[in-house]
Homo-oligomer: A and B are copies of this chain.
Amino acid sequence: MTRTRIMQAINAEQERTICVKGWVRSARRGKEVSFIALNDGSCFDSLQLVLSPELENYNEISKVGTGACLSVVGKLIESPAAGQKWELQVEEAKILGDADDSYPLQKKRHSFEFLRSIAHLRPRSNSFGAVFRMRSQLSYAVHKFYQERGFMYVQTPIITANDCEGAGEMFRVSTLDADNPPKQNGAVDWNEDFFGERTGLTVSGQLQAELFATAFSDVYTFGPTFRAENSNTSRHAAEFWMIEPEIAFADLADNCQLGEDFLRYMVTYALDNCQEDLNFFNQRIEKGLIDKLEALAKAEFKTITYSEAVELLLKAKQTFEFAVEWGCDLQSEHERYLTEQVFNGPVFVTDYPKNIKAFYMRLNDDNKTVAAMDLLVPRVGEIIGGSQREERLDVLQARMDECGVPQEHLQWYLDIRRWGSCPHAGFGLGFERLLMYVTGMENIRDVIPFPRTPGHAKF
């Protein structure tokens, strides 16, 4: 008999005989009858199995442990119990894989910290079931958003010889014998390495996405990126996924509009497609989550310049840990003050001082600021960072010299400005930041299947 997913069983329209398979979330043994909550991950809710002593192997099945895997045939009937429409009157049951008392996920609340230590089993818990279902749904939403708008997906390289992306520390990738590497003048001779030069893990697909944008007009990346930063915070992981759209013939305003449309789409998609999981997060993880998301979906996105932002911060009644003056980078406390206290909603901050931004951002006519933009949202702060790119060859070359980026390493990047240059812009959105925002989960380790952080590469 073909297996029916529990999601389908729970949404059934009429009584019928079905076969379900899944894992025991909890079992309650009675004299007259026993109950088992069976979950197969297809949805948040478990299906209630009702076992009567007439069942051939009642003794065995009713004693089954939490975590055991069952295959069950029975009749789906309307449930007299509150909170569920259907239950399954079991006619046949088989234990596919038993679980004894040592199963670490017994029915009780576990701390997220403990669950991280059993990341191979935590997907079987309510919280992480919901997190990873939403991760999958929202991944698909990313592709839907861009593909339906005619954007081309480009898979930019993971291994890169570029060390000048400027976005952070890189992991080195090598096949040399680490104990006895070939050396020249006392230093490792990278010419002997697999790629004939020193390589690392990408920190961003932007530069390559720019190349594709100047051939296909509208492109996006969605792939893993890396930071070898030894920071143990709840917001940083060594490996995370990033979405980077890049659009030709676009300026900063177009870029902000795309960011607004994208974020609104993602939040609306979650509200429309992940209700059951969102209800759980709303009740157990972040009170008011759904209100927050609904507000964002309808919100007006404001735009202010960096200079205006600095003025607002200088006028603030609040005292900040980090003092503010024109030219400084905005800290998380500043960003949250702007989006939470001043605007109580999403706000783009644009036109940052060139000295605190990357070489590729387009220089404004004031020669002091660049056409950068960050999108700030309440509770998170920066969720999107981007810019119009410098499309003028001579200006870009001057900026590279100013920033100490060697031109000879990036001739291919300059070529795009040498022949058929065009205005273009783009941004990056950290997928995990978005997931934290949408689920209310507060630690990045809890929205990544198997997180990589300093000291942790297990599983």
Binding site for B on A (CB under 8 A): 3, 5, 7, 21-24, 40-42, 67-69, 71, 96-100, 102-103, 119-121, 123-124, 129, 132-133, 135-136, 139-140, 143, 147, 150, 152-161, 169, 171-176, 178-179, 181, 183, 186-188, 194-197, 199, 201, 208, 211-212, 214-218, 223-224, 226, 228, 230, 238-239, 241, 248-249, 391, 412-413, 415-423, 448-450, 452, 454-459
Q: Is the CB of B241 within 8 A of A155?
A: yes
How far is B138's CA from A143's CA once the two chains are assembled, in angstroms?
A: 12
Q: Is the CB of A97 within 8 A of B459?
A: no
How far is B22's CA from A58's CA once the two chains are assembled, in angstroms?
A: 71
Q: Is the CB of B457 within 8 A of A41?
A: no
How far is B134's CA from A154's CA once the two chains are assembled, in angstroms?
A: 11
In the A-B complex, list the 10 residue pairs whose CB atoms are closest, starting with the nearest: A97-B421, A41-B216, A123-B215, A195-B457, A99-B419, A69-B420, A120-B412, A136-B153, A161-B457, A69-B422
Q: Is the CB of B224 within 8 A of A158?
A: yes
Could you say which of B133, B172, B224, B420 contacts A223, with CB atoms under 8 Å apart? B224
Q: Is the CB of A179 within 8 A of B187?
A: yes
How far is B123's CA from A378's CA once the two chains are assembled, in angstroms?
A: 40
Q: Is the CB of B120 within 8 A of A415?
A: yes
How far is B230's CA from A207's CA once the two chains are assembled, in angstroms?
A: 27
Query: Nearest Cβ distance between residue A96 and chain B, in whole angstroms?
Result: 5
Could you say which of B98, B99, B155, B173 contacts A173, with CB atoms under 8 Å apart? B173
Could you say which of B67, B132, B226 contacts A216, with CB atoms under 8 Å apart? B132
Q: Is the CB of A458 within 8 A of B150?
A: no
Could you say which of B23, B173, B419 contacts A97, with CB atoms under 8 Å apart? B419
Asked if A208 meets B449 with Cβ closer than 8 Å, knowing A140-B153, A169-B175, the reply is: yes
Most buried by B among A103, A412, A419, A449: A419
As for how many copies of this chain the complex holds, the number is 2
Complex contacts, A143 vs chain B, CB 8 Å:
139-140, 143
Complex contacts, A68 vs chain B, CB 8 Å:
419-420
Q: Is the CB of A391 within 8 A of B132?
A: no
Q: Is the CB of B458 within 8 A of A412?
A: yes
Q: Is the CB of B224 within 8 A of A421?
A: no
- 7 A-B residue pairs with Cβ-Cβ distance under 8 Å, sorted by A, are A23-B420, A69-B422, A96-B420, A123-B215, A196-B457, A197-B457, A223-B224
Could you say which of B102, B103, B249, B391 contacts A3, with CB atoms under 8 Å apart? B249
How far is B284's CA from A176's CA once the two chains are assembled, in angstroms?
A: 42
Q: Is the CB of B454 within 8 A of A195?
A: yes
Q: Is the CB of A152 within 8 A of B120?
A: no
Complex contacts, A228 vs chain B, CB 8 Å:
175, 194
How far is B239's CA from A130's CA once the two chains are assembled, in angstroms?
A: 32
Could you say which of B3, B100, B103, B455 contacts A196, with CB atoms under 8 Å apart? B455
How far is B150's CA from A230's CA once the two chains are assembled, in angstroms?
A: 38
Could you say which of B42, B102, B169, B449 contacts A155, with CB atoms under 8 Å apart? B449
Query: Nearest Cβ distance between residue A159 and chain B, in whole angstroms?
Result: 5
Could you say which of B99, B154, B212 contacts A420, with CB atoms under 8 Å apart? B99
Complex contacts, A136 vs chain B, CB 8 Å:
147, 152-154
Q: Is the CB of B248 within 8 A of A21?
A: yes
Q: Is the CB of B419 within 8 A of A67?
A: yes
Q: Is the CB of A211 within 8 A of B457?
A: no
Complex contacts, A450 vs chain B, CB 8 Å:
156-157, 208
Q: Is the CB of A22 within 8 A of B217?
A: yes
Residue of B nearest to A456 (CB): B195
Asked if A217 meets B41 with Cβ closer than 8 Å, knowing A174-B172, A212-B449, A457-B159, the reply is: yes
Complex contacts, A153 vs chain B, CB 8 Å:
135-136, 139-140
Asked if A96 meets B421 with Cβ closer than 8 Å, knowing A156-B449, A181-B178, A195-B456, the reply is: yes
Q: Is the CB of B132 within 8 A of A455?
A: no
Could you say which of B100, B169, B239, B248 contacts A159, with CB atoms under 8 Å apart? B239
